[in-house]
Amino acid sequence: MTKPAVVWSPRYACDIGAHVFPITKYGLVHQRLLAEGWIAPGQTLEPPPPTRELLAAAHDGGYLDDLDALRWTPRTMRAEMPLTREIVDAFALGASGTTLAAREAMARGVAVHVGGGLHHAYAGHAEGFCYLNDLAVAARAMQREGLASRIAIVDLDVHQGNGTASIFADDPDVFTLSLHQERNYPSPKEPGDLDVGLDDGTDDRSYLAALAPALERVWAHGPRLVLYQAGADPFEQDVLGGLSLTFAGLEARDRAVIDGCRERGIAVVTTLGGGYARRIEDTVRIHATTCRCALEAASR
Ligand SMILES: [Zn+2]
């Protein structure tokens, strides 16, 4: 049995100034997995810097030119993030990270990316803390490399995966599921293959009851690979989310996706997505639990 790949880079922790996005979480999640013995020293793979060709499979050339030149334009200005070389490079590296994790998952069955999930980035513009859509970049890379044609993106962030839905609107091979809080950013939503808008305050039970039939639709698509955006922001203590999931509910969510893939022989990659709990240690705990669920599932 092969060990699952874990992908991460210390360079994900770029300087974004004072910001609601807890950029240190990537390193903290990785550290926690190491400290708890879920991953061994030396097990982590660092992604290479992405090529232009890799990013261009999901993003428009003009937009990539703006990012390269750090130009403040209508395409870059909606990120709600500073526009610096370090930040663009860090998120580009994250797109390479999800791609590496996808490639590893196709070989080993499971891969964990301690990063990624930047689902609000469109082909041609930044949005909602997201410059580059790592999920889309990875999916397109797997298609181009001939590793997987039928793919599903399972997006369980509290916010709808609008960029991802838009990028794959005309691709029948990539199924996009988003289960999110209806009355939250983005507005309007971008129609994906399956959108489930949840009421404010949705609890564990109602959430899991909505997730089960949605996952049935994912399985019916027949994907070889699932890219899982495991946002931590459906958590009841999240400052940007209005759902009421507990730690246990979020773990049950993770297991439904990851174990569901494993039972069906579908390769699965976990990515982190959003997470803005009042206490950063709660966000870190939720993300680390997703990673642990994937690592445990791989060892069964
Ligand atoms: Zn979010």
Can you give the pLDDT at residue 300?
A: 83
Cβ-based neighbours of 72, under 8 Å, separated by 6 or more: 83
**pLDDT band per the 50, 70, 90 thresholds, residue 2:** low
Residue 2 CA to ligand 1 centre (angstroms): 32
Contact present, 257 and 154 (Cβ < 8 Å): yes
For a pLDDT cut of 90, what percent of the chain falls above it? 97
Pairing type for strands 44-45 and 174-181 reads unpaired
User: Is pLDDT above 90 for 4?
Assistant: no
How many CB atoms are located within 10 Å of the residue 2 CB? 10
Can you give the pLDDT at residue 188?
A: 95
Task: Enumerate residues with CB within 5 Å of ligand 1 (an ion).
Answer: 157, 159, 231, 233, 274
- pLDDT mean across residues, the chain: 97
Can you give the pLDDT at residue 3?
A: 78
Residue 278 CA to ligand 1 centre (angstroms): 14
Pairing type for strands 174-181 and 151-155 reads parallel
User: Is pLDDT above 70 for 123?
Assistant: yes
Residue 120 CA to ligand 1 centre (angstroms): 9
Residue 235 CA to ligand 1 centre (angstroms): 11
Residue 234 CA to ligand 1 centre (angstroms): 8
Average pLDDT over residues 245-261: 98
Q: Which of 217, 282, 272, 220 is nearest to 245 (CA)?
A: 282
**Residue 190: both structure tokens together:** 């971008």
For a pLDDT cut of 70, what percent of the chain falls above it? 99
Q: Just list the catalytic residues.
A: 120
Q: Tell me the C-alpha distance between 119 and 167, whole Å.
A: 10
User: Is pLDDT above 80 for 10?
Assistant: yes
Residue 74 CA to ligand 1 centre (angstroms): 22
